Structure 1
Amino acid sequence: MPNAANNRSSVDGEFSRGLSLFDSTMLVVGVMIGSGIFIVSAEMSRNIGSAGWLLVAWAIAGGLTIAGALCYGELSAMMPQAGGMYVYLREAYSPLLGFLYGWTLFTVIQTGTIAAVAVAFARFTGVLLPRISEGQYLVKPVLISSHYAVSLSTAQLLAIAIILLLTFTNTRGLRYGKAIQNTFTLAKTAALLALIAAGVFIGRNGAAWHANFGDFWHASGFSPLTASLDAGTAMGMFVALCLSQTGSLFSADSWHNIAFAAGEVRNPERNVTRAMVIGTILVITLYLLANLAYLLTLPLEAIQHAPSDRVGTATLQAIFPGLGTALMAGAIMISTFGCINALILAGARAYYAMARQRLFFRFAGNLNSARVPASALWIQGLWAILLVLPRTYNPETGVFGNLYSSLLEYVISAALIFYVLTVAAVFRLRSKRPDMPRPYRTWGYPIVPAAYILTAATILLVLFAFRPATTWPGLLIVILGIPVYWLVRTKAETAVPAESPEHVSSRH
């Protein structure tokens, strides 16, 4: 049963428990499904080169995601307050480790994802409205160094407008944010189901079946991993499967964001866990079916070389010639809009929790009259907007890229480290805090968390060995947070004492 804290009035400045199990599940599904499922299978299939192993790669990601949800469930039931992973890492290890996660979340992970998904929304809007383009400049790129520039295109402007609109809407109250979330999550789920149905029942053809299922496990058309290693060997396939997880795992990422907003979930000791498990199982099932639809409609070679890696678009174009591109653009616009809203809604709650501990801007630890962390929402939104503006520049080709894309690539490995540490916290807290109430205990303990840690750690080792250019910089971003932590902590010690974790936990 919900406890008395669930029904407190706004006089004491606490969150409103406005998220039901349905709302919470919609947030999990909505934040997971963005644009990745329609794109990443192209690069994954180029690494793996086999229809069978492509599905295995997605199944591995699915198993890890669901296992992670089962493990996080125990932590969320123990600590059902706003903050999610920041709180879990702080309580299991130290305030420093909690801060480093929050630092990385704010500087790149959450805000960079908001920026990336907002620009994806703008790009696919450009399919229907050609004037919305990253090449249509309002302010042409201005070089600020040999490899970086800033610009403002019509696509960037639309991305900024979407971030501002959804940030403002979420400051008006939880009911507005969850209304948008529920509407767009249901719409994007229906759109993905329609794509699956079209591929399975309308688009399937003999050529795709023969090419993909006639030799289900044979690897062909793959890109070499190194000069002497490719997916044609057992070791090469193992490495390719690990490297492919950067696409599949992070297309299914952010499922834990509901824990950031645990302070607003009714009966959080039960419903946060339920929402994560139900949501992840639903999304992973949809992702596997979507890839099956791709394989029934397109030969693997067509998936590997889909224009701009847009596998979903290529699939619908094969089924509905002349209409597929527009149909997929509309579907991705719906999907990304809902994803941005979920990221904005959830992320600000983590910064709110940090601010309550004097580890973030102090004013971000306040709630407005609508009982939402408006200051944290605006800080997050403004930083995400700033990440939309910078561009990377290749002086050899003259091509401009997006800075946030590079940053996100850098922190994939760092984020996975935090996930491993959080799952390991289940073991640590059972030893460190054995008497702490656990309304839910990890299903399959200790096998499930141990399997997660072993599998994720293996993927990490492969990433560091074979993708050093995009993994080691991620660690640097995390490490840069250490001097920031000591600076912030020193300043906080001279100010008003922080709210104790125990007090925060008891209130929520």
Structure 2
Amino acid sequence: MESVHTLLGFLVWAEPGTLCPFDLEDFDRRKREHMTSKPSGRGLSDLHLSALIIASMIGTGVFTTSGFSLAALGTREAVVLAWICGALYAGLGAVCYGWMAGLYPESGGEYVLLGRSLHPSLGYTAGWLSILAGFTAPIAAAAHGLEAYLQRSGSLWIGALFILVSVALHGIKRDAGAVLQTSAVVLKLLLLVGFVLMGVGSISPSVSTTFVAETKWAQFGPTLMWISFSYSGWNAAIYLAGEQDGDASAWVRRGLIAVALVGVFYIILNTVFVYAGPMSLLSGRPDIGMAAAKAIGGSKLAWALSLVVALALGTSISSMMMAGPRVIAKMAEDGVFPKFLTKGGDTPYNAVMIQGVLALMVFFASTLSSLLGYIGLTLSLCTALTALALLWEWKKGRFRPKRPLYLLVPLVFVLTTFGMAGWMAWIKPQQAYASLATFAFGLVAWWLHKRFVKRPDVNG
């Protein structure tokens, strides 16, 4: 365990034991100040929280993005490089969110973090974004991923069935859903590792000496945005922060361990995917994993992988159905939504049902390719605002890092995010318009709420 702490400390320019930049007594005071309600029961264990993060991360993107990325970039090496950059980017984000959870240890994610730190309008807008782009659209995308991999009669309805099962699972009892989800996560990881080992033994990746000249670098920014969606989920546990114990150091540790494990796995898995067969067979395919498995081991391996992917996407839907309703319930607790959505305490069953209905509506009204870019761009802007809030907390004197280099983490994360977003907006303006429209909708909704609904401002 000490070696793990040493590694994590190195990752954030700190000595072992200094992952938390706050005085622990100060943290406890903040938790008492900002807790609007006490958890009704024991928090989830670190195992269940890590499983929640991993389940949220290993979803639609890892099994579909490399096909689109290969078509966009034109070389296998550039695709692998993009996955490496995505892992580093996700790690920076996990550190920023862990520190913000130390400042505002409440459930609700960006709705709480931005509303308490920057301005209530941004918290309100982030709540809408989390519900729509953070959970509803990714749940629908995961269900579409199931549809792409199963490729059989009725697969559309199978995706819908997975959503309904997740609603039932997490609308009944939180702990029961967490135990079942953790077991499924362990099983899918074992099966995917088995596939990776088989794939690594069957291919021989080689780096072309001309890939720098052959790569379509103008597409690297948008591709990295797609891949950032594949890594999204590293902040999943933050949505349950008010129900858990642990300081900022614990949140950073949980996030970084999950990102490191998933990142190494993603890089190896996608290396197998892009080197498994000729580019003409793999490029542009949403089911690149299926094509790679067929090239490596024939139809039987492709069929087996489709079942593993179904399990992986199913647990991804389940994890988002667990975290997403916490945003709805928190907004209802603050008077934004009707109070009946708070019923259930640690198991907000009415909020779970609303989340399920929204996911089904988007699922039947969208396609996978239309969702990937929109989700990646919208969520990245929201996460950049959260990291920007951390810099604002530093300016106000509330975030007091023990080492000056700590500030590089949110700074690099914010600059990278805005750089990718601007790059993608230039290449794919339609998706930028959709993201900006979502932000504008949230701000208008907040203005209408403030004007016509007279309730105390809990975010101010």
Normalising by structure 1, what TM-score?
Answer: 0.78
Instruction: State the percentage of identical aligned residues.
Output: 23
Aligned pairs for 1:97-176 within 5 A: 97-124=122-149, 126-127=150-151, 130-133=152-155, 155=156, 157-176=157-176
2:254 alignment partner AA: A
Deviations 1:334-393 (A, max 9, x none): 10010001000001111222122212233223335xx32112111111111222233xxx
Distance in structure 2 (CA, Å) of the matches to 1:442 and 1:168 = 46
Q: Deviation of residue 91 (structure 1)?
A: 1.6
Q: Which residue is equivalent to 2:211?
A: 217
CA contact (8 A) 2:144 2:367 kept: no
Normalising by structure 2, what TM-score?
Answer: 0.86
2:233 alignment partner AA: S
1:256 alignment partner AA: N
1:181 alignment partner AA: Q
Q: Which residue is equivalent to 1:393?
A: none
Q: Is the partner of 1:40 in helix, strand or coil? A: helix
Q: Which residue is equivalent to 2:444?
A: 483
CA contact (8 A) 2:39 2:243 kept: no
Q: Which residue is equivalent to 1:204?
A: 203
- Match of residue 387, structure 1, among 355, 362, 371: 362
Q: Which has the higher helix share?
A: 2
Distance in structure 2 (CA, Å) of the matches to 1:193 and 1:443 = 39
CA contact (8 A) 2:67 2:287 kept: yes
Distance in structure 2 (CA, Å) of the matches to 1:275 and 1:53 = 29
Q: Deviation of residue 54 (structure 1)?
A: 1.8
Q: Which runs of 5+ in 1 are unaligned?
A: 7-11, 134-154, 223-230, 232-236, 391-401, 503-508
CA gap of 1:292–1:123, structure 2 versus 1, over 3 A, is closer
CA gap of 1:101–1:304, structure 2 versus 1, over 3 A, is same
Q: Deviation of residue 219 (structure 1)?
A: 5.0
The answer to whether 1:461 aligns with 2:428 is no
CA gap of 1:406–1:449, structure 2 versus 1, over 3 A, is same
Q: Is the partner of 1:367 in helix, strand or coil? A: coil
1:414 alignment partner AA: T
Distance in structure 1 (CA, Å) of the matches to 2:335 and 2:113 = 17
Q: Deviation of residue 4 (structure 1)?
A: 12
CA gap of 1:462–1:413, structure 2 versus 1, over 3 A, is same
Aligned pairs for 1:264-283 within 5 A: 264-267=243-246, 269-283=248-262
Q: Is the partner of 1:470 in helix, strand or coil? A: helix
The answer to whether 1:31 aligns with 2:30 is no
Q: Is the partner of 1:254 in helix, strand or coil? A: coil
CA gap of 1:411–1:175, structure 2 versus 1, over 3 A, is closer
Q: Which runs of 5+ in 2 are unaligned?
A: 1-23, 32-36
Question: What RMSD in Å do the two structures reach over aligned CA positions?
Answer: 2.7
Matched positions, count: 430
Asked which structure has the greater CA Rg, the reply is 1
Q: Which residue is equivalent to 1:398?
A: none
Distance in structure 2 (CA, Å) of the matches to 1:405 and 1:35 = 11
Q: Deviation of residue 85 (structure 1)?
A: 1.4
Q: Which has the higher strand share?
A: 1
164-173 or 345-354: bigger deviation: 164-173
Q: Which residue is equivalent to 2:77?
A: 52
Q: Which residue is equivalent to 1:87?
A: 112
Aligned pairs for 1:159-308 within 5 A: 159-201=159-201, 203-205=202-204, 209=205, 212-215=206-209, 217-220=211-214, 231=216, 237=217, 239-267=218-246, 269-304=248-283, 308=285
Q: Which residue is equivalent to 1:399?
A: none
Q: Which residue is equivalent to 1:225?
A: none
Q: Is the partner of 2:299 in helix, strand or coil? A: coil
Q: Which residue is equivalent to 2:411?
A: 450
